[in-house]
Chain A
C-alpha cells in the first residue's frame, strides 16, 4: 500500500493545504519513512479485537435541552479577519 506522489497531491487537496510540486516531493519522501513505521502494525493479529476509540469506555454525558450559551458575537467577531453587518466575510461562493 505504498503512498504515491499522486496520493500526496490528492490528500493535500482534501486537507485544503496548498502544496507546490517541490513540496509534494519533499512531503512524499518524509511520509514514506513514517508509513514504514506505521506498517509495523500489521505484525500483530487483531482479529476479533474491539476497536478502542477513547481512553475510557464511558457513555457520553448528555445535558438538558436548554439554551445556556450567551451572545458573545461582538467579542468573538472583534478578532475575525473580515466582518460586515455581524457576518463573517468570505470570497463569493455562488455566482
Chain B
C-alpha cells in the first residue's frame, strides 16, 4: 500500500483486496507515527476519516464507487472543509471551523475520497519554507534539519513520507512546485482558472491556483480529473468542457516504443541555465535533458529576457492583492478577536496585530504602501506593465517549442532557519517559478535526481526538481511528457529513510 499509485489503490479497492477502512487505518497510523516529527498536519480527525471510509466501503460493496472512492487524500489547510478546523496556518483562523466546503473539497467528496487530514502550510500561503506557519515549521522527510519548501510544505512532506497517497495544494508564486522539488514528489499548478477557488482562502487573486501533489505524473492526472471543472461561484473559473487529463498518457500506452516523445520540441530557456543555479542542481537537470533526447525530443534554445524582473514584480502585485484580500480579517464575523480594546479601530488594530505573523504583516504593509496615493502608478501599474512583458516572453517562446524545461529551484532544500531572517533571500528562492504564475501558465515539478551540496559535508543527498512549463491548457501533454520520463527513470519512486518506510 505504501508505494501504490492511485490507480493501483482504486483497483485493489474495487476488487475488494483491501477495504477503505484498512487503507485509511494504514495511513492514519503512519500520520500518527511520523506526523509529529514532520509536523506535516495541523488537524487529523481519525474518527471522522474512518466514518468516511466506512461509507466508502458501503459504496464499493454496492458497486457504485467513483474514481477516488475510499482513497485517503490530505488537503492543504487553505481549503474550507465543513466541520473541520481550517486555519490557513494562521493564529487569525486558529479557531475557525469552516461552515461550508470549498469546491475542491466537494469535488473529492463526490469522487468518494476520504479526507485524511488538513496539512500544515505557511501562514496564508505566504512563504517558501513553511517556517511562517503559526503551527510551527514542517520538516523535510529526507533531512529533518531542512525545510520541505512552501507554502504547501505539509502536503509535499506528507506525500514524500508516504503519510498519504496524494494531497492538494495551492500555488501563487511556486507554492506547489517548489515544495514538490524540495521534498522529492510531483506537483502540478494548472492553468489559471482551471480549478475553482471557491472556498479556498484568498492570497493574491490574480495568481492563486490549486493543484495536486502525488508520487507519479499519472496520479497527478487522476487528481486533476477530480479537481478541475467549471464552478459558477468563482468568477475566474473558466467555462470549458471537462477533459481527461490522463488521455495522452493512455494514448501513449498503445503507441509505446523506445522513443515515445519523438519530435516533441522542448524549449530550454537560457535564463534557467545561467549562473545562479547550484552546480549540483544543474548536473541533475542536464542529465534529465539527455534523457529527454533519448526519448526522442528535440531541444530548442529559447529566451525569457524579462524573467529576471518576475521577483520584484511579484512582490508588488502579490502583496497589493493580499493587503486587499486580508482586510476581511477584522475580528467581527469569525476568527480571532483581541480580548481587550478601547474602540472599533483599536479592536481592528489589536486583532490584526495579534492574529497575523511577521511575514503576513510585512506583505500587508508593502501592499498597502504600493497601492497608496502617490505610489500606485510608480509601483502597482509599473508592475502590471512588466507582467505583460513577462507573459509576452512566454508566448514568443512557445511559438518555437511545445513545452519548456529547467530547474524548479536554484538549490536543493535549505536548512530550517537558514533564510528565515532575510526575506529577500527567501523571495529569490522562487526565481524560476514566479514568472509562470504571472503569465497564468501551467507548470509542474517532478523529481529528477539527488544532489549533495558541494559546500556542506555530512548532509544527506536531497531531491532535485525538474520544472516542466506548458502552454495554456496543455496539462495533458505535460503530464504525458513527465509520465514518459518516469517510465524511463525511477527518481520518483525513491522514498526517504528506509526505517521510516518500513514503519
Q: Mark B291-323, 1 if CB is under 8 A from A, else 0.
A: 000000000000000100101110110000001
Interface residues of A in 53-95 (CB under 8 A from B): 53-56, 58, 60-61, 63, 72, 75-82, 88, 90-93
Q: Does B503 contact A (CB under 8 A)?
A: no
Complex contact B315–A37 (CB within 8 A): yes
Complex contact B424–A15 (CB within 8 A): no
List of A residues within 8 angstroms of B472 by Cβ: 56
List of A residues within 8 angstroms of B406 by Cβ: none
- The one of B232, B309, B349, B375 that contacts A63, using a Cβ cutoff of 8 Å: B232
Q: Mark B335-355, 1 if CB is under 8 A from A, else 0.
A: 101000111111111101100
Complex CA–CA separation, A3 to B365 (angstroms): 12
Max chain A Cβ within 10 angstroms of own Cβ: one of B207, B334, B337, B346: B334
Q: Does A19 contact B (CB under 8 A)?
A: yes
Q: Mark B52-96, 1 if CB is under 8 A from A, else 0.
A: 000000000000000000000000000000000000000000011
Complex contact B366–A17 (CB within 8 A): no
* Cβ distance B366 to chain A, nearest Cβ, rounded Å: 6
Q: Mark B251-278, 1 if CB is under 8 A from A, else 0.
A: 0000000000000000000000000000
Complex CA–CA separation, A54 to B209 (angstroms): 13
Interface size class on chain B is: 35 or more
List of B residues within 8 angstroms of A14 by Cβ: 368, 372
Complex contact A46–B315 (CB within 8 A): no
Check A88/B332 contact, CB under 8 A, given A15-B323, A18-B353. Answer: yes
- The one of B333, B343, B383, B438 that contacts A91, using a Cβ cutoff of 8 Å: B343
Interface residues of B in 382-430 (CB under 8 A from A): 382-389, 391, 422-424, 427
Complex contact A53–B349 (CB within 8 A): no
Q: Which residue of B lies closest to A24 (CB)?
A: B365
Q: Does A22 contact B (CB under 8 A)?
A: no
* Cβ distance B441 to chain A, nearest Cβ, rounded Å: 8
Complex contact B386–A55 (CB within 8 A): no
* Cβ distance B91 to chain A, nearest Cβ, rounded Å: 14
Secondary structure type dominating chain A contacts: loop
Complex contact A91–B347 (CB within 8 A): yes
Q: Mark B19-49, 1 if CB is under 8 A from A, else 0.
A: 0000000000000000000000000000000
Looking at the complex, which of B139-147, B356-364, B444-452 is the stretch in contact with chain A?
Answer: B356-364
Q: Does B193 contact A (CB under 8 A)?
A: yes
List of B residues within 8 angstroms of A5 by Cβ: none
- The one of A41, A52, A77, A91 that contacts B312, using a Cβ cutoff of 8 Å: A41
List of B residues within 8 angstroms of A15 by Cβ: 323, 327, 352, 364-365, 368
Q: Does A21 contact B (CB under 8 A)?
A: no
Complex contact A61–B235 (CB within 8 A): yes
Complex contact B349–A38 (CB within 8 A): no
* Cβ distance A23 to chain B, nearest Cβ, rounded Å: 9
Complex contact B349–A34 (CB within 8 A): no
Q: Which residue of B lies closest to A35 (CB)?
A: B366
Complex contact B99–A78 (CB within 8 A): yes
List of B residues within 8 angstroms of A88 by Cβ: 332-333
Complex contact A18–B349 (CB within 8 A): yes
Check A52/B384 contact, CB under 8 A, given A17-B352, A34-B423. Answer: yes
Complex CA–CA separation, A54 to B335 (angstroms): 30
Complex contact A11–B368 (CB within 8 A): yes
Check A52/B388 contact, CB under 8 A, given A12-B365, A17-B364, A91-B344. Answer: yes
Q: Mark A20-57, 1 if CB is under 8 A from B, else 0.
A: 00000001001101101111111110100111111110
- The one of B349, B362, B422 that contacts A16, using a Cβ cutoff of 8 Å: B349
Check A41/B383 contact, CB under 8 A, given A33-B424, A88-B333. Answer: yes
Q: Does A1 contact B (CB under 8 A)?
A: yes
The tally of residues in A whose CB lies under 8 Å from a CB in B reads 54
Complex contact A30–B362 (CB within 8 A): yes
Check A1/B362 contact, CB under 8 A, given A34-B423, A52-B384. Answer: no
* Cβ distance B383 to chain A, nearest Cβ, rounded Å: 6
- The one of A40, A52, A82 that contacts B387, using a Cβ cutoff of 8 Å: A52
Complex contact B385–A52 (CB within 8 A): yes
Complex contact A72–B364 (CB within 8 A): no
Q: Which residue of B lies closest to A47 (CB)?
A: B385
List of B residues within 8 angstroms of A82 by Cβ: 337
List of A residues within 8 angstroms of B391 by Cβ: 52
- The one of B306, B347, B369 that contacts A3, using a Cβ cutoff of 8 Å: B369
Q: Does A6 contact B (CB under 8 A)?
A: no
Q: Does B122 contact A (CB under 8 A)?
A: no
A-B contact pairs, 27 of them (CB 8 A): A11-B365, A11-B368, A11-B369, A14-B372, A15-B323, A16-B327, A16-B348, A30-B362, A34-B362, A34-B366, A34-B427, A41-B382, A44-B306, A44-B389, A51-B381, A52-B391, A53-B206, A54-B206, A54-B236, A55-B206, A56-B236, A58-B238, A78-B99, A79-B95, A82-B337, A88-B333, A90-B332
Chain B residues with CB under 8 Å of chain A are 95-97, 99-100, 192-193, 206-207, 232, 235-236, 238-239, 306, 309, 311-313, 315-316, 323, 327, 330-335, 337, 341-350, 352-353, 356, 361-362, 364-366, 368-370, 372, 375, 378-379, 381-389, 391, 422-424, 427, 437-440, 472
Chain A residues with CB under 8 Å of chain B are 1, 3, 7-8, 11-19, 27, 30-31, 33-34, 36-44, 46, 49-56, 58, 60-61, 63, 72, 75-82, 88, 90-93
11 additional A-B residue pairs with CB within 8 Å, beyond A52-B385, A90-B344: A3-B369, A11-B365, A19-B361, A34-B423, A37-B311, A41-B386, A49-B385, A49-B389, A55-B207, A55-B438, A77-B333
